[in-house]
Structure 1
Amino acid sequence: MLSLRKRAWISGGVSALVAVTVGTLLLYSFLNQKVLDRFDSTLADRHTQIVVALSNVPDDPDGLGDLIFDPAYQTPLSGRYWQVVGPDGQIYASASLLDGTLPVPQTGSGKLTLTDAESTELDQVRIAHQVITLEDGSEWSVAVAESRADLVAERAETRRSLIVAFALVAVLGLASTILQTAAIARPLDKLRRDVAHRWESEEALDGKDYPEEVAPLVGDINTLLARNRDIVGRSRRQAADLAHALKTPSAILRNELSALAGKGRATDKALDALDRLDAQLGRSLARIRMSNTGETTFARTDLSNSVNRFSRMFAAMAKRDGKELSTVCEPNLTIRVDAQDIEEVLGNLLDNALKWCRRAISMTARRVSQGIELTIEDDGPGIAEKDRNAALQSGRRLDTSTPGTGLGLAIAIDLLKAYDATLELDASQTLGGLAVRIVLPRQLVR
């Protein structure tokens, strides 16, 4: 579904273009008629000039040319012509006609008529024609013609001017639509940013900071934020309380089994079952946290600090076993992930690497084009490419010679999926063992 901003842009743009197109057509039609009216008015004035001149020399029509002072009438085929036909059918015409005649109607009218005509000699012309009756009762056919070339040129110039003017109006209209949409959408953008900030700061939104149309929505969002914050907080506290409550009986059982083992009793199966029970409970609790995390949390975590802290802790553990952990971490890596979640992922992956490596582990955290990449490598036996998908499945163990439940990777994957992060298994190019690569997408990088 289109966003409100895109809807406004599209509807505003279409409306502006339709208005400009209709306006252009209407104004062009109006101006086109105005140009024709002005052309006809000038033609009518010239016709009147010929009639006045004829009324002064009704007995000597040959002298008409001397009474009309317009050089265009003397220039051959200049585009401006006059023609008078006497009662006896004798034709008197301007020198510009040469030997041609104007194509006037055979039957005249006492009213001035303006028509378009075309002849072989004169091309397209517009003619003003009228049959007049002088004081002596004689009837004369008087016609004045003007080439349509000037009319066509003026109309073309008007059309070009209109196109340029309305193109500018269209651009201004579209720009105005974009600016207006941005101004209208600004309160909604502010509301979106404020919701994210208020989730972190646990402050209520103030309806007075928004337009009155948005104010009712602000109240609903405040209620929803408070309710969601309470649900998320309560769920995570319950998961933490449950984990704490289960640790005590699990520790008691483990101590009892250890005591029985000290007396020579076989407790391997019971300890293995208890390990699996602890791992399954841990994964279930992680899933509870996962269902109340991801996009519902706006917590900030200093990933650089978490990586360096876990590096120091696991480096000490590795040193006791005669192993070594090296870490390279870019500073100021901040992510929108709950600290407990990302640290549980780090703990599980580093615990697996420490368990399977021979001598060395390396951990790197850096920015990449996709977001932030976190890689943990070891020099252990690794995992064959054909077995990597099976290793990512819940509880699958490819080698049972080393103690464990096989759920460490599964728990890490569950938590990472909640944030749309990815985990991949590959061969280490530097240490030769397994490389576990995590990519936290750009939307999680703060």
Structure 2
Amino acid sequence: MLSLRRRAMIGGALSAMASILVGAFVLLSSIENNVLDRFDRALADRHSQLVVALSTTANDPTRLAERVYDPAYTTPYSGRYWQITSPDGQIFTSTSMFDAALKEPFGAPSTLTRRSIMGPAGEPIRAVYQKITLEDGSAWGVSVAESLAALTAERQQTRRSLLLAFVLVGLLGLAGAFLQTTTILHPLDKLRRDVAKRWEQDEDLTTADYPEEVAPLVDDINELLARNRDIIARARRQAADLAHALKTPTAILRNELALLAAQNHDMEASVEALDRVDAQLGRSLARMRAANSGAAANIRTDLSNSVARFTRLFTSMAERDGKTVRTSCAPSLSIRMDQQDIEEVIGNLLDNALKWCNSEISLTAQKWDEGVEILIEDDGPGIPEGQEREALKSGGRLDSSKPGTGLGLAIAIDLLQAYGAKLNLEKSAKLGGLAVRIFIPGKLRTVAPQKAAA
């Protein structure tokens, strides 16, 4: 569906074009009619001059040329002509007619008659004819004609001028439509920005900051924001309460299994099953938390602080095993993810890297393509080529020689998907082992999390 801005622009443009076309047609028709009327009035004036001259030379029409003073009448095919038809049918013409004659209208009307006909040189001309009766009672046919070339040229010039003027008016109309659309939609743009800002700051919108037409929508948004905050807060509390409630029973079960193992009972399968239950619960709780934060919150987390904390924690853990942790993070780097979510992702991935590396792991975070890229590498055995997809499956474990449930990577993927982020498994170009590359977009793009695996 078209946006309001595009609809307003298209509607304004079509309205402006329709108005301009109708205006241009009406104005051009009016101007051309006025030009033709002026042309006909000039012909009528010359016709009157010829009639006056005829009234004084009726006895000798050959002297008529001396009475009509216009050089154009003496130049052959000049485009300006006159013709007199005597009562006995004899025709007298201007020198400009050369040896041609004008066709008179049928019936020889006694009223002034205007026509467009072909001239002596084959060009279109405009002719005025009237049968005149002099004082002596003699009837004469009087014709005056002029080429339409000048009229056509004037019309073309008028059309070009009007076209240029209306193109300019059209551009001004489009600019006006764009300015008007921008001005009208500005409150909606402001509302969109303020909604994101108020969500982050946990504040309501101020109705007085918007036009009265938008005020009811602002009130509804305030109510919706408050309701969403309450829903999200309640869901996160329930997830936290559920996690806390499950910790005690699983801790009791783990202690009981430890006691049985101390009595030489084989509890390895049971402990592994309990570990898997804990991991699945952790994954489900992480999904629940992400669904109620990534899908709705426009929050920001200072990634630099999180990386600094992980550097201290994993450096201490790595030194106990004689390993090295190297980190590099751009200063003041922030991302659109909940702090708990991104730290759980990085923690799981660093834990895997430390578990599988030989002597060194590396974490790099930097701005990249309108977002943030996090790269975690190790010098371990990596993943055999072609088995990356298997490793990304829920609980997928390509090597069971190390302890674990195989759900750490799946939990990280679930959390990242809730924010529209991506995770790829590659071969590390720097350390030779596994490289986990994460891209978190700068603009929030949420993806509904998938259902947990049974």
TM-score band, normalised by shorter chain: over 0.9
Match of 2:429, SS state, is coil
Q: Check if 1:207 corresponds to 2:207.
A: yes
Residue 448 (structure 2) aligns with: none
Q: Note the C-alpha offset of 1:167.
A: 0.8
Q: 1:168 is aligned with what amino acid?
A: L
Consecutive aligned runs of 4 or more in structure 1 exceeding 4 Å deviation: none
Residue 432 (structure 2) aligns with: 432
Instruction: Report matched runs for 1:277-426 at 5 Å.
Output: 277-369=277-369, 371-426=371-426
Q: Note the C-alpha offset of 1:375.
A: 0.8
Q: Deviations over 1:275-299 (max 9, x none)?
A: 1111111001001112212230011
Q: 1:30 is aligned with what amino acid?
A: S
Indicate conservation of the 8 Å contact 2:232/2:292, yes or no. Answer: yes
Q: Note the C-alpha offset of 1:59.
A: 1.6
Q: Deviations over 1:172-224 (max 9, x none)?
A: 11111111000000000011111111111221112111111111111111111
| Structure 2 unmatched runs, 5+ | 446-454
Residue 68 (structure 1) aligns with: 68
Q: 1:88 is aligned with what amino acid?
A: D
Please give the alpha-carbon distance, in whole angstroms, between the structure 1 residues aligned to 2:230 and 2:101: 99
Match of 1:312, SS state, is helix
Q: 1:277 is aligned with what amino acid?
A: V
Residue 156 (structure 1) aligns with: 156
Q: Check if 1:253 corresponds to 2:253.
A: yes
Moved more, 278-287 or 255-264: 255-264
Please give the alpha-carbon distance, in whole angstroms, between the structure 1 residues aligned to 2:46 and 2:312: 105
| Structure 1 unmatched runs, 5+ | none
Match of 1:337, SS state, is coil
Q: Note the C-alpha offset of 1:82.
A: 0.8
Q: Check if 1:171 corresponds to 2:166.
A: no
Q: Note the C-alpha offset of 1:435.
A: 0.8
Moved more, 145-154 or 11-20: 11-20
Q: 2:275 is aligned with what amino acid?
A: D
Q: 2:354 is aligned with what amino acid?
A: L
Indicate conservation of the 8 Å contact 1:47/1:143, yes or no. Answer: yes
Indicate conservation of the 8 Å contact 2:420/2:444, yes or no. Answer: no
Match of 2:443, SS state, is helix
Please give the alpha-carbon distance, in whole angstroms, between the structure 2 residues aligned to 1:130 and 1:158: 31
CA RMSD of superposed structures (Å) = 1.5
Q: Deviations over 1:101-158 (max 9, x none)?
A: 2222353110010101114535221100010000100000100000010011011111
Indicate conservation of the 8 Å contact 1:290/1:415, yes or no. Answer: yes
Residue 15 (structure 1) aligns with: 15
Indicate conservation of the 8 Å contact 2:119/2:147, yes or no. Answer: no
Q: Note the C-alpha offset of 1:80.
A: 0.8
Instruction: Report matched runs for 1:189-228 at 5 Å.
Output: 189-228=189-228
Indicate conservation of the 8 Å contact 1:382/1:433, yes or no. Answer: yes
Please give the alpha-carbon distance, in whole angstroms, between the structure 2 residues aligned to 1:145 and 1:208: 74
Q: Deviations over 1:301-346 (max 9, x none)?
A: 0112212221221111111111111111111221111111101000
Please give the alpha-carbon distance, in whole angstroms, between the structure 1 residues aligned to 2:172 and 2:308: 56
Q: Note the C-alpha offset of 1:263.
A: 4.1
Match of 1:269, SS state, is helix
Please give the alpha-carbon distance, in whole angstroms, between the structure 1 residues aligned to 2:46 and 2:122: 18
Q: Check if 1:104 corresponds to 2:104.
A: yes
Indicate conservation of the 8 Å contact 2:336/2:442, yes or no. Answer: no
Residue 180 (structure 2) aligns with: 180
Q: Deviations over 1:245-275 (max 9, x none)?
A: 3223333333343344344333222221221
Moved more, 125-134 or 80-89: 80-89
Q: 1:89 is aligned with what amino acid?
A: G
What is the percentage of aligned positions where both structures have the same residue? Answer: 60
Match of 1:385, SS state, is coil
Please give the alpha-carbon distance, in whole angstroms, between the structure 2 residues aligned to 1:299 and 1:98: 94
Indicate conservation of the 8 Å contact 1:335/1:444, yes or no. Answer: no
Please give the alpha-carbon distance, in whole angstroms, between the structure 1 residues aligned to 2:346 and 2:290: 16
Q: 1:84 is aligned with what amino acid?
A: I
C-alpha spacing 1:383/1:174, structure 2 compared with 1 (3 Å): same
Q: Note the C-alpha offset of 1:35.
A: 1.2
Q: Deviations over 1:1-34 (max 9, x none)?
A: 1110011111111111122122212222221211
Indicate conservation of the 8 Å contact 1:370/1:439, yes or no. Answer: no
Please give the alpha-carbon distance, in whole angstroms, between the structure 2 residues aligned to 1:339 and 1:200: 14
Indicate conservation of the 8 Å contact 2:102/2:120, yes or no. Answer: no
Residue 88 (structure 1) aligns with: 88
Give the paired residue count. 445
Please give the alpha-carbon distance, in whole angstroms, between the structure 2 residues aligned to 1:444 and 1:239: 23
Residue 269 (structure 1) aligns with: 269
Please give the alpha-carbon distance, in whole angstroms, between the structure 2 residues aligned to 1:378 and 1:389: 19
Q: 1:306 is aligned with what amino acid?
A: S
Match of 1:426, SS state, is strand
Match of 1:40, SS state, is helix
Indicate conservation of the 8 Å contact 1:341/1:415, yes or no. Answer: yes
Q: 2:207 is aligned with what amino acid?
A: G
Q: Deviations over 1:409-440 (max 9, x none)?
A: 00000000101111111111111111111111
Match of 2:69, SS state, is coil
Q: Check if 1:42 corresponds to 2:42.
A: yes
Please give the alpha-carbon distance, in whole angstroms, between the structure 2 residues aligned to 1:288 and 1:262: 37
Indicate conservation of the 8 Å contact 1:79/1:122, yes or no. Answer: no
